[in-house]
Amino acid sequence: MRWFFAACLLALISISPRAARAWGYDGHRIVCAIAWDQLTPAIRAKVSQVLEEDGKDAFVENCLWPDEVRPWRKETALYHYVNVPQGATIIVLDRDCPPDKGCVATRALIEAGDMRRTYSRDAVRFLAHFVGDMHQPLHTGYAEDAGGNLIKGKFMGQDTNMHGLWDYGLLEATGRSWQEIAADLNARTTQADRWTWTAGTALDWANATLALAQSPAVAYRADAQPFDLGRAYLDENLPTVYGQLQRAGVRLADLLTNFLQ
């Protein structure tokens, strides 16, 4: 039954490209722009060498590639998220992320290892993307509602679903460009933040994201439809959105540095 709902998610992705893009394209751009600005010139040069493209703009756009190739690299679809049973409060890898399938809680480090061994362009792209996915709360959700894709409602008077609301709805409601948000979040990041956020494991990070998904403020639950949310929801949850994007960028920079230096 679990894999039936996973199949439903893939079907949704095939007919709704926007729903397939964790954090939306702009969210992934923000994560990768923050990461780039945290890198030393030497590591930036290595990233550009592996990608065979130079500069921040090229790196940021390469971070979108894993969503674009999903239609013909179907084996990667499960890598973008992790589902837990209703009532579970932590991710159990043997249960939720079997080795023969994989999930977002494991793929980032697998790609990082591949990047170190082969200096693979695809590995850099997947690593950058999956670190972003891991920090989107609705990518640590439930199979029964396809990570919130099946929970319908309105936000600011517009039809949406819970997953899409977190992918792009909250960011779009700010009226700010992704470049402005990325620059602002990067400027706020301190060395103490870097030390704190890069501690722990990828599983720790994914479990922290799951805790956010299950928090009262996010209001993610199977009986939440139809929802009708507005300015109060945005004001309460926008700091979480920004904080997750900021953490993802810092952690991505740290992984790239550790595996490419």
pLDDT tens-digit series, residues 129-184: 999 999 999 999 999 999 999 999 999 999 999 999 999 999 999 999 999 999 99
Q: What is the pLDDT of residue 52?
A: 94
Count Cβ atoms within 10 A of the Cβ of residue 249 and give its class: 0-12 exposed, 13-18 middle, 19 or more buried: buried
Is a pLDDT exceeding 60 seen at residue 17? no
- Residues ≥6 apart with Cβ < 8 Å to 234: 156, 170, 173, 174
88, two tokens: 């579970």
Whether the pLDDT of residue 20 is over 50: the answer is: no
pTM: predicted TM-score of the whole model, two decimal places:
0.89
Please write the tens of the pLDDT for every residue from 96-140.
Answer: 998 888 999 999 888 888 888 888 899 999 999 999 999 999 999
Q: 2-260 — its CATH code?
A: 1.10.575.10
Name every residue whose Cβ is closer than 8 Å to that of residue 180 and which is 6 or more positions away in sequence. Answer: none
47 touches 100 (CB < 8 A)? no
173 contacts: CB under 8 Å, gap ≥ 6 = 155, 156, 234
From CA 3, how far away is CA 19, in angstroms rounded? Answer: 19
pLDDT, one tens digit per residue, over 186-238 is 999 999 999 999 999 999 999 999 999 999 999 997 566 789 999 999 999 99
Q: How many CB atoms lie within 10 A of CB 188?
A: 11
Every domain of the chain and the residues it spans: 2-260
Q: What is the pLDDT of residues 35-44, one digit of tens each?
A: 999 999 999 9
Q: What is the pLDDT of residues 39-73, one digit of tens each?
A: 999 999 999 999 999 999 999 999 999 999 988 88
